[in-house]
Structure 1
Amino acid sequence: MNLTTYDLTVDMLDVHADRNTFHRFDKFNAKYNPIGESRLREVFLKTDNYCNGKYFANIIKEVASDLEESKYQNAELRLSIYGKSRDEWDKLAKWALQSNVYSDNVRWLVQIPRLFDIFKLNKVLDNFQEVIDNIFLPLFEVTAKPSTHPDLYKFLQYVIGFDSVDDESKPERNPLFDKDTPTPEQWNDTENPNYAYYQYYIYANLAVLNHFRNEKGLNPFVLRPHCGEAGPVQHLVCGYMLSENISHGLLLRKVPVLQYLYYLAQIGIAMSPLSNNSLFLNYHRNPLPEYLARGLVVSLSTDDPLQFHFTKEPLMEEYSIAAQVWKLSSCDMCELARNSVLMSGFPHKTKQYWLGPNYTKEGVAGNDIARTNVPDIRVAFRYETLIDELSNIFKNHSLMMQHNE
């Protein structure tokens, strides 16, 4: 690269998103390569490389160490499984255990990039069923018999769920998924399956896997995809039907009916206004304050902090900027933080420590103001309003049924 350490600067790394990445996901993806060199990305940000992911592990340990020192922050970090080979899980688990990236403050979400078209084009895979098999067969095997994948068995204790990621604004020939859609064995086209196709087959396999893991007394997994950041609104329909929580949900602002459904079902939405500001939606137009005011379960989250943040405290950046720009009250901020804990995949005991022993109860009974700092009157208002909305819907439904009879 013809560079010395003296020449190297933060600006030269060129990993920060700027005005040129707005609505240009291709330019944003290029920011993952320091100095425009994919080799550096391979060396520093991969778990499976010639140095066995040593540098990436050291970076994660630094982040975990900062979290442990702060005492008041936990993180759910993403690791990728692509579904292009059967041994991906074993390699990832081996890296995690050998590198000792364990921390009480960290849990893992496994993100599945939607890249079947690229693998098919490069003749890595023949059909979509191979992706499903490569992702889920090792998980069924280790659940049935832990000795088949001992490292993976240990690693999965700290995996809380699955995420599905890619550029949602990519055009889809047909965003719908119906009975005429080819099965995974039949999908051998170079065209990428649509968003709904990916979500359905991830969800269907997770549902069966979770039943199996519950029978074995093992931790289940949730589906928490990137959803509604861009693209057609059908993505949000999939999120509503299949997901535990979603990330982003920006397009709900354009579809009031779906927004209402998300409210009624209290589906969590982790929002990242600073990320959206550089990619899809200017900060002042972000719908987070409206969602919060209407009672949707929203929280603040970071997304790609390497690209969008400037300090060692990216989550504090999100909270402090949101508070300043939208003039959020301390009550609003505490409600966002409470929602964040409720939506997270940390163990029940950890949530009890943060929110109180009765946090699973609804309404004021589940609010420990000494821990959450959310006033009982705010929690009571949220609960009573939701119950009132649900009561009206069911009352109207029963009246319509009687009228039809």
Structure 2
Amino acid sequence: MPSWRERPAFQQPSYPDLAHLNTVVADLRSRPPLVFAGEVDSLRQRMAQVEQGQAFALMGGDCAESFIQSSADNIRLKVQTILQMAAVLTYGASMPVVKIGRMAGQYAKPRSSDTETRDGVTLPAYRGDCVNGYNFTKECRTPDPDRMLDAYLRAGTTLNLIRAFTMGGYADLREVHSWNRGFTANPAYSRFETLAAELDRAMRFMDAAGVDFDALSRVEFFSSHEALLLEYEDAMIREDSRSGRLYDTSAHFLWVGERTRGADDAHVTLLRGVTNPVGVKIGPDAAPSDLIALMDRLNPNGESGRLTFITRMGAHRIDDALPALVEAVKADGRPVSWMTDPMHGNTIMSDTGYKTRNFATILDEIRSFFRVHQSLGTVPGGIHVELTGDDVTECIGGGESISETALAERYETLVDPRLNHQQSLEVAFEVAEMLRG
């Protein structure tokens, strides 16, 4: 198998000191894995269920995690939001929900330009805390390999907290349900009262029937991020002592972005060699032949649970662009799971100067995703959303009708706008109704 180093590599930082980069990579290579082969294998089994329509995948988290916001409270609120969404989706779908946090590794982001200019000064673009700093100074914006070591440590502590929250009773279904009751009590979300009442009756039935809620207090929760920094990902690959297979131990699930998904380029080549379930972001300009080539590289033998296509089309283009892609993959016959990313194709600039997304447009893309798959007899397997557990004001609209003028109140993202806690739950209730048909 060819090395990714022999392939074109895009969206990589330009480090000024290559000797120091090599020292950091060697250090990373000697450190313990962040996730383990058995956990990755479990996720592949879950993703195989998603392919077959026997489970639904929920992937959510920050656009770009920042070091300064990796506090216990921020992590807890994101986990809580995903657990709340999953509870609603589980009821709506009447099937298990695979919970995947866009967490514990999403520290790097591709950018449309390598540089940024302000007041006549040009500096490297901010590429995420794993690469450089956000402040517009030469010192902050110069790529620093030591940041990869910091990312590794913060990812490890985040994963430890996630495991504690999801295995130590915090994920108790009764507690999650009580959080959701608080959400539906808000008059802004009164249209979900019927579904909420059904869910409440189901919970009371389970309690009366003597269901072992202790067994429901622990959940599987997987981590994911874009495998953007090739040196970091390569340094985290480990050989499993039992099977001899290679795993990227930086996360359970890795994906390749729309800007770096060339079938013969470095990012796809790196992920060809690992056992993890992998995803590829697919934009509206992709051709059916692009997806077949990606299947040839990433899942040539058609193994279940291996490959996910994450479509990011834009609400105004998905109905025209998606059907031909789905039909081509269906005709090929090798299994894939399909998810929708309704965020990235729907970014706009507000009149007040903020990059934002309209909540109604996000829902429109999700509805189109379901409609296309249902019309073609394929499985709409999941959603991939950028969210936070905080009450930020970054996306306009939703039940609480965030306006463009309100964006300035709590606009905290470093790159792209995220759904806040309430908007995330609103998406879950809307998708639950779609899953019910």
Task: Judging by fraction of residues, say which structure has more helix.
Answer: 1
Higher relative contact order (CA 8 A, sep 6+): 2
Q: TM-score, normalised by structure 2?
A: 0.39
* Structure of greater Rg: 1
Task: Judging by fraction of residues, say which structure has more strand.
Answer: 2
